[in-house]
Amino acid sequence: MDIEFNLKQIRAKIEESARKANRDPDEIRLIAVTKYVSAEQINQALACGITDIAESRVQNALTKLPLIQTGITKHFIGTLQTNKVKPVIENFDLIHSVDRMSLVEELAKQADKLGKRVSFLIQLNISGEATKHGLDPDELPGFIDNLTHYSNLEPCGLMTMAPLEADPEAVRPVFRKLKELFDKYAQRADILPKWRFLSMGMSQDYQIAIEEGSNMVRIGTAIFNSHK
């Protein structure tokens, strides 16, 4: 395993894709997905300049977080059960996986109790795969209307997971669609003042996601060579 080598390659590819799309590479945030790796490996990645990590299982993350260097940004990207909302709000800076109203209500309730504001992304299921979590894009307008009732919640953008395809090009329309929806709501600063993150792209498909406008890529396997 050579985290430093992997990161160098990934950064070069991010830059290459950004240039191809006439974008500034500095506007793309590289998030290291650390769900399958130890605190020691996380610290190695941090030593190589990683500033953002993402976890998907609450219990597992809580055992590792106290062992890692402070001052980094922590993202929660997993399926979020309502009974885990409190520890997630307490330990993470941005939640990428908000996909239903019952979860929004619980986030607002716990945020209120903790006297915190909660930043999050809305996860959409663009491909319509039954196995994928995420809100149906047709429900997005109503969902956003409802969000405006909660003053302690800050919707910051959109997230999706593309289907696993043998041909990475097959996911391009999924990313294009998410970017279109992202841009539409970027014009609603009146109701969405913090709207700024488009989280799409994983080890398999981040270069295409960047070409299609992603500004947050979530990469695990390609950094750590870890396997499920």
The site for ligand PLP (CB under 6 A) is made up of 33, 35, 56, 77, 161, 202-204, 218-222
Could you tell me the smallest distance in angstroms from the CB atom of residue 53 to ligand PLP? 11
Q: Is 172 helix (H, G, I), strand (E, B) or coil?
A: helix
Could you tell me the smallest distance in angstroms from the CB atom of residue 130 to ligand PLP? 17
When CB distances to ligand PLP are compared, the closest residue is 220
Nearer to ligand PLP by Cβ, of 36 and 150: the residue is 36
Could you tell me the smallest distance in angstroms from the CB atom of residue 217 to ligand PLP? 9
Classify residue 162 by its DSSP letter. Answer: -
Nearer to ligand PLP by Cβ, of 108 and 217: the residue is 217
Q: What are phi and psi of 67, to 5 degrees?
A: -95, 0
Could you tell me the smallest distance in angstroms from the CB atom of residue 26 to ligand PLP? 21
Neighbours of 132 (CB within 10 A): 16
Nearer to ligand PLP by Cβ, of 119 and 152: the residue is 119
Could you tell me the smallest distance in angstroms from the CB atom of residue 174 to ligand PLP? 14
* DSSP state string for 124-135: E-SS--TTS-SB
Q: Is 205 helix (H, G, I), strand (E, B) or coil?
A: coil
Nearer to ligand PLP by Cβ, of 76 and 143: the residue is 76
CA-to-CA distance for 118 and 92, rounded, in angstroms? 9
CA-to-CA distance for 59 and 122, rounded, in angstroms? 22
Nearer to ligand PLP by Cβ, of 18 and 219: the residue is 219
Count of positions (residues) in the chain: 228
